[in-house]
C-alpha cells in the first residue's frame, strides 16, 4: 500500500468522528431556539473537542477489538459526542 492509500485509509477512519462532531455542533446551534442554552464555547472549539474525543474513541475501539467498525464502537462514539456536547452547552442548567 502506497502513501496515498495509507493517507486515505487514515482519513476515512477519522471521517465519522469529525462528521459527527460537526453535526453535533450545528444541531446544538439550531436547538438554541427550542430551549437548549447557547454554548459558551465557539463553534470551532466544539467541533475540535468533539472530533478529537471521537477519534480517541475510534482508536480505543480499534485497539480493544482489533477491528474497525464494530457497533459497540459506533455506539460509544455517539454516546461520547452527545455527552460532550451536552456538557459544552451546560444543558444541566436548563
The model's confidence at residue 11, banded by pLDDT at 50, 70 and 90, is very high
From residue 70, alpha-carbon distances to 23, 31, 39, 54 in Å are 21, 30, 31, 14
> What residues have CB less than 8 Å from 31, skipping those under 6 apart?
none
Mean pLDDT confidence for 25-52: 87
The model's confidence at residue 54, banded by pLDDT at 50, 70 and 90, is very high
pLDDT tens profile 12-33? 999 999 999 999 999 988 887 7
Q: Specify the residue for cell string 453535533.
A: 24
Cα separation, 19 vs 91, in Å, equals 22
Amino acid at each position: 500500500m502506497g502513501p496515498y492509500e495509507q493517507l486515505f485509509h487514515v482519513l476515512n477512519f477519522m471521517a465519522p468522528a469529525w462528521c459527527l462532531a460537526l453535526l453535533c455542533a450545528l444541531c446544538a446551534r439550531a436547538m438554541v431556539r427550542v430551549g437548549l442554552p447557547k454554548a459558551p464555547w465557539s463553534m470551532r472549539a466544539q467541533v475540535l473537542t468533539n472530533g478529537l474525543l471521537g477519534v480517541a474513541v475510534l482508536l480505543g475501539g480499534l485497539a480493544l477489538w482489533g477491528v474497525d467498525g464494530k457497533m459497540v464502537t459506533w455506539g460509544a462514539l455517539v454516546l461520547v459526542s452527545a455527552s460532550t456536547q451536552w456538557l459544552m452547552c451546560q444543558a444541566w442548567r436548563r
